[in-house]
Structure 1
Amino acid sequence: MTWTIPNILTVFRLVSAPMVLLSFVILPRPVADWAALVLFVGASVTDWIDGKLARAWDQQTKLGTMLDPIADKAMVVVALAALVGLMGLAPLLVIPAAVILLREVFVSGLREFLGDTAGTLKVTKLAKWKTTIQMIAISVLMAFGGLVSGIEALTAGMDSATAAAVIEGAEEDLFGLRWKSIAATICLNGGFVLLWIAAALTAITGWDYFNKARPYLKD
């Protein structure tokens, strides 16, 4: 195995996946939300950087080729598990998450079954867009969690009527509750829209891979 900088970045992304979930075990909220978001965004950025560096420096290795898609899937799967655990079984979250998880498992199974011919399932541009939108959607929803838990921490000593009055602008806002509430609403709605778009692209690319694999599935 060759330990190049692109490979090290890929391994960092892989190790960051469980740390996103463990942040909520180790740290209190909202610190955990923002720590998980920083980890997830940082790992997502390395997905773009390591590929660029590997091609620019001609350092594409078998290790990197193997680990790169695994790290991407690990990041998405673990982050979705964290979101479902934090936000509950909301249909707007659970349905696209289920589609994404099914596709990832299905395509991984196809690649394993095809073995030496798995090269027929090369990553397409649409699949890259799918991964990018997935990561943006998850980041936005994580930001929503951080904003909401931050609001809850700031209003812990307030009665609900006073907190509502501050957020609605009827009372003086000393802690920025109003803009945090507006930002949280934007993140929630925007995150759900992006996640459904990602789920649609996930289903399309999954079907495309299945069609490419069909000749090898015939008896």
Structure 2
Amino acid sequence: MAIKLTNTHVGTIYSQTRLLSYKTLFSWYSGLLKPKPIKPPHKHIIQIGDPRLRAVSQPVPYDDIYTEKIQSLVKHLAGIFKKYNCIGLSAPQVGVQLRIFIMGLNEKSLQEYSPKERKLKEITLIKPMVIINPEVKILDFKKLVFSESCGSIKGFCADVPRYYSLELKGFNEIGEHINMNATGFTARIIQHEMDHLDGKLYTDSMDRKTLSCTCWEVVNDRNGKVELPYGPV
């Protein structure tokens, strides 16, 4: 049986065909413009919500410390650490689930704290150091509550309780054994980074009522036209 097409039928078919062609073309162009997924380690600090920040990191076999893979990762971490002016940075924060972190506090970072704050929090210079497979033993169970921020929770801070002193053991980037005691702010940094290696964030133990945007006043002064900064820890 022959089917007679009216002008209305022809117009509908033409419109649907044109719409299908547009969708196909748009999808094709979108595929061209969409950046390809980048494998870790990332060149940025990943943010809260990324499931990799909630995974427990795996230890590095001692013999692997000398391999190109681990040496390259340490070098990469050091570069990101410097780029964002961190005082602590863990491998999970660049998307790698290995028990490695870097810490350090230079003169420039030290000057960002007032003399009163430095004394109160016991903030001192920390020579940059890499810690692989860190282990912590708490020496003083007294907890101090101070504000913390995090490169993976961009633009926010909150009050967090931390133990006052601890012993840190591990290995550096050339496999040498590390054994040191830390108190005050240094102990806080270590505990913060250890949390990252265990899939935890400071939001898990913070005083929820103190969670604040670190630059809320600037946001208001500039009518919201502000890029939130990375936290130092």
TM-score (norm 2): 0.27
Higher helix share: 1
Higher strand share: 2
TM-score (norm 1): 0.29
- Largest Rg, 1 or 2: 2
Which structure has more relative contact order (CA 8 Å, sep 6+)? It is: 1
